[in-house]
Structure 1
C-alpha cells in the first residue's frame, strides 16, 4: 500500500508489515442476495452502517468518517459524522479530502488498460520491451535470503504480472531480510505518510525520480519467480513508468487528460493545492486508546510535490471524486454521456487476470481473483461475480458490484489500517443493510 521513507515498515512496531492491508472483501454477506435489484431506490437506508460510523466518532476512535454509496448511475447517498480533526469544528462532508493510498492502484490499473485499448501495449507483453534492463532478471533462492544466492528468472515479467502483483517484485512493507534493507537503501520506497520521523520506523533513502527508480529496481533480484506467487509489491509504480514511457506523459498528466478531466474529477491530487489544505482531514495513529496525529492536514506532506506520480499510492481526493471513478467502472467505461474506456476493456480490467500458475494461498487475495489493481470476484459465495475494489493504508475502502449495480466507498483517516476493522468489514456493513432492506421489503423478518 505504501512504502516510503516515512512509511509503515517496522515489523516490531504497531506498524507491522501486514498492518497496511489494502484489500476489501464482501465475504459470505453476499450469499442469498438475488432479491436485491440492480438499481436500488434512493429511499434505501443504511441503519447499521450509520450506527457504526456514529459509534466510531462518538467513541473518538476516529475524528471523522464518511460513506458514499450509489446505485447504477444515480447520485450517491452520503453518511457522515465527525470533523476533519479531533476537537475541530469543520465537519467532514463531500468536500473533505482523504488520503487514498492504495486506492490509487485500481486507478493506475485502469490507466494501463487504456493503453492496452489503444493498442500501444498488450497484457502479456514483456516489461523488457519498454525497459530492457528488466531482461534476464535474477531471482532470490530464498525470498528472505542472501542477495547473492540467486537463480535466473524462468519467464520474463509481463504487464499482466505487474497488474496482478505476480511479477516477483518486493515491497518494503512486505519483504523481509536483506532485500528489504536493499530496497530501503536504494530509495525504492514510493509513498508518503508524514513530515516527521515515526519512532521505530526505518526512514530509508529518499525516493528518486521515476526513471532512476526503475533503473535501481531492475538491479535488484526478484523475490519470486514471475507468475508464480501473489505478493504485494511495487508493480503499479513500475506501471507508472510504463505509462510515461509509452504515452510520453507522466502518470498524473495522463490521468488528468484521459480520466480525471473527462470524468469531472476536479478534487483529486498528487500534490494538494495550498488553498485546499483546509479541506484535508488529519491522519492519526491509534495508540493506547488515543489518537496520535501523524500528518495534520494544515501542514501535510501531501502539500509537497512527490518525486513522481506514484502508481501504487499517493492520490488524495474527495469521496465524490472517487465515486465518479467507481461510477465509470459500474458504467463499463461511461459516466453520463462521457465514455473514457470501452466496455470490454473495463470488464477485462475488473476480471481475474491472475496467471494460472500464480499461488495465492495465505495471501490477502486467497480464494479471490485479482484484476487491474484490485481484488475481483470469482463467482463463488465468498468471491461474488462482478465485485472489484481495493482499500488504502489510512483505513479507506471502495468497491463496485456490477451484478447488483452498487458502488460504495468508506473514508476515514487512521494508520495502520488494521487498527480497527472498518476497512476490512466495510463491504459487510453495506451488504448487511441491503439484506435487511430486501428482507423487510419481502416481509421476511428472519435473521
Structure 2
C-alpha cells in the first residue's frame, strides 16, 4: 500500500475553491440525470473504463446530509466478470479506514475517556520510554531517548514518530516486516519484500511489538505517514473495554446504517466483491480476485489504518453522517462537537509539514483538512484507487471507487477532485 499523494491544489486542497458553492441550488442536484449534472466526472469514469485501463469504476456524489447519493458507474467487478459495478459493490478501501478510526477515537474523546494531548503511555506503559533513530531510516542501533511522549493527537495526525513499512526504507522497514508490523492485506500471492512475512495476530500484540521498535522521528516534530491509526485501534479497545471491530460495529456502523463494511467479507457476499489489480507495464494483473480474495479469510487483526472493505453506498452514509455533524436519518451517531473537532486541523504547532504529502493542508482525526481559503474539506484516499471527502462550505460529499495498485499508477485521486470541482463550479455559474 502506498501513501496518497496530496497537495494544496490536489485531492483535498483544491476543494477549497468550492467555498462559494454552498449557494448551488438543491434543484440542480435533484432534477437532471447524474451524468448530465456531472459531465467531467462522467468523462473521467468513461475514460478509464472505456480505454481498458480499469475494468470498473463508480463515483458516488451527494449534497447535504439527507439527500440520497447519485452515481456514475461504468464497467464490471473484474475483467472477466459480467456483473456491473454499482453502489453495493465491495471495494478494498485501505487507508479510507483511517477517518473511520479517527471518528471512533473522537467519540471517546468527546466522552472524556481520552484526551487529545494525553500520553498513550497512560494506557500502554511500554510506550513511556521510547528511543528515536539518530538518523531517520538509518541505523536501528544508533538511537537516543525520545524527549516527548507520544500522545493521542500524535496518533491521529501522523506526528507520532512511528514508522510505516510502506513509507520507511532500510533497517527500520526490514525490522517492521520481520516483526509482522504490516497492517494490511493485499494478496494470497507472495509479494516482493514480504517473503516469509507473518502478521501479528492481535492488536494487543501489535502494540506490544511496536513499542519495542525505535521511533523514526521525535514525536510532534514531523508529519510522516505512519501506523498511528492502527495503534489507535488498540487504545480504543483498552479504553472502551470492547474489541475494536465490535466497537466500530456497535457505535458507528450499526447506528449509521452501514451494513456492508467489514474487516472480513462474509462468504455470502463474495459475489459483490471486486477484483484488485496490479498495474504493470501497461497491463492489469489480478493480485486479489474477488471470488478467492484474501478478504474472505479472517483478518489477522482489525487494523484501523487500512483494514476495511466497504461499498460506495455504505461509505456515503459515513460521509452523510459527517456532513450532518454526527446525525443521519434522525439518529445522532456521534456528537456535533466530536465531528467538528475531528474534522478540524489537529496538527501540533511544532509539526513540520513542509516536505510531507499534506504540504499546504492541515490534518484532523485520520484525514486531511483544508486551511485558510481551503477550509471546510475533510477526507482521505486508499491505496487501491478509492478516495472520498466532504466539503462543509458547499455541503457536498463525493467518493470514487475502483481497484488497482499502486495508487500512483494512475492519478485518479487528483483527477476526481478536479472533475467534481469543474462540474460543481460550472453548475453554479449556470444557476
**Would you say 1:420 and 2:410 are equivalent positions?**
yes
Match of 1:185 among 156, 178, 184: 178
Alignment match, 1:432: 422
Indicate the larger mover: 43-52 or 387-396.
Answer: 43-52
Counterparts in 2 of 1:182 and 1:70: CA distance versus 1, 3 Å: same
**How many pairs does the alignment contain?**
421
Contact 1:286 1:414 in 2 (8 A): yes
How far apart are residue 362 of structure 1 and its match? 1.7
Alignment match, 2:11: 25
Contact 2:96 2:388 in 1 (8 A): yes
How far apart are residue 36 of structure 1 and its match? 4.5
Alignment match, 2:244: 251
Give CA deviations for 1:155-208 in whole Å, capped at 9, x if unaligned. Answer: 100000000000000000111111111111111111000011134655533233
Alignment match, 2:382: 392
Counterparts in 2 of 1:124 and 1:432: CA distance versus 1, 3 Å: same
Gaps of 5+ in 1: 3-18, 442-447
Supply the distance in 1 between the matched residues of 2:152 and 2:193 (Cα, whole angstroms). 35
Supply the distance in 1 between the matched residues of 2:424 and 2:5 (Cα, whole angstroms). 24
Secondary structure of the residue aligned to 1:79 is strand
Match of 2:90 among 87, 93, 97: 97
Supply the distance in 2 between the matched residues of 1:180 and 1:200 (Cα, whole angstroms). 10
Supply the distance in 2 between the matched residues of 1:363 and 1:304 (Cα, whole angstroms). 35
**Would you say 1:350 and 2:343 are equivalent positions?**
yes
Secondary structure of the residue aligned to 2:26 is coil
Q: TM-score, normalised to structure 1's length? A: 0.91
Supply the distance in 2 between the matched residues of 1:35 and 1:303 (Cα, whole angstroms). 42
**Would you say 1:34 and 2:24 are equivalent positions?**
no
Contact 1:156 1:226 in 2 (8 A): yes
**Would you say 1:315 and 2:308 are equivalent positions?**
yes
**Would you say 1:242 and 2:235 are equivalent positions?**
yes
Contact 1:27 1:428 in 2 (8 A): no
Supply the distance in 2 between the matched residues of 1:397 and 1:279 (Cα, whole angstroms). 19
How far apart are residue 31 of structure 1 and its match? 3.2
How far apart are residue 324 of structure 1 and its match? 0.4
How far apart are residue 426 of structure 1 and its match? 1.4
**Would you say 1:43 and 2:31 are equivalent positions?**
yes
Contact 1:29 1:432 in 2 (8 A): no
Counterparts in 2 of 1:270 and 1:28: CA distance versus 1, 3 Å: closer
Secondary structure of the residue aligned to 1:105 is helix
Supply the distance in 2 between the matched residues of 1:184 and 1:115 (Cα, whole angstroms). 31
**Would you say 1:222 and 2:215 are equivalent positions?**
yes
Contact 1:39 1:404 in 2 (8 A): no
Supply the distance in 1 between the matched residues of 2:17 and 2:307 (Cα, whole angstroms). 35
Alignment match, 1:369: 362
How far apart are residue 271 of structure 1 and its match? 0.7
Alignment match, 1:152: 145
**Higher helix fraction: Structure 1 or Structure 2?**
2
Contact 2:44 2:416 in 1 (8 A): no
Counterparts in 2 of 1:312 and 1:35: CA distance versus 1, 3 Å: closer
Secondary structure of the residue aligned to 1:268 is coil
RMSD over equivalenced CA pairs, Å: 1.5
Secondary structure of the residue aligned to 1:31 is helix
Supply the distance in 1 between the matched residues of 2:324 and 2:113 (Cα, whole angstroms). 24
How far apart are residue 26 of structure 1 and its match? 4.0
Match of 1:405 among 392, 395, 403: 395
Contact 1:22 1:393 in 2 (8 A): no
How far apart are residue 28 of structure 1 and its match? 4.1
Gaps of 5+ in 2: none
How far apart are residue 213 of structure 1 and its match? 1.2
Supply the distance in 1 between the matched residues of 2:193 and 2:138 (Cα, whole angstroms). 23
Give CA deviations for 1:253-296 in whole Å, capped at 9, x if unaligned. Answer: 00111010011111111110011111000001112221100000
